[in-house]
Amino acid sequence: MLMELAVLMIKLLFALIVVFGLMFILIKISNSKLNKINQGKYIKVLERTNISKDNSIILLKIGNKGYVIGSSSKGIEKIEEISEEEIAVIDKNKEKQKEEVNQQYEEFIKKLNLKFKKLKNKNS
């Protein structure tokens, strides 16, 4: 009875590792494809923040220029223009954030692999 429970737990843990691994792979593939698709676009939404249910602030990059735009149910309004230097800084920060998230995913997968190997060695 106890042995069957241990086997079931190992199978469950293995299934979770497989699911997380597949999620990681799908995220990596989709991120790289989305980045390639978005790189060639002339208009990019750099960031969008919801202020309320119907109102949001959008940071757009059109060519080399940047704009802060307010969006509501009544319409869209340009709030401010952003310089090319500020847009470059924002782009760098976005890339840095993407790299940090990718590193976190990779570290998480490495930790899962180590735990799985330890568990596998323990049961061998």
List pLDDT tens digits, range 14-69: 888 888 888 878 877 776 666 666 666 778 888 889 999 889 999 988 888 899 99
pTM of the model: 0.53
65 and 28: one domain? Answer: no
Rounded mean pLDDT, 72-84: 91
47 and 107: one domain? Answer: yes
Strands (E), 5-99: 43-50, 56-62, 65-72, 75-82
CA nearest neighbour of 109 among 21, 32, 31, 8: 21
25 and 47: one domain? Answer: no
Portion of the chain with pLDDT greater than 70, in percent = 90
Q: What is the pLDDT of residue 24?
A: 79
19 and 73: one domain? Answer: no
Q: Is residue 77 part of a domain?
A: yes
28 and 80: one domain? Answer: no
Strands (E), the chain: 43-50, 56-62, 65-72, 75-82
To the nearest 10°, report the CA torsion of 69, 70, 72, 74. Answer: -80
Residue range(s) defining the domain that contains residue 72: 41-111
Q: What is the pLDDT of residue 57?
A: 94
99 and 48: one domain? Answer: yes
Portion of the chain with pLDDT greater than 90, in percent = 17
Q: Is residue 117 part of a domain?
A: no
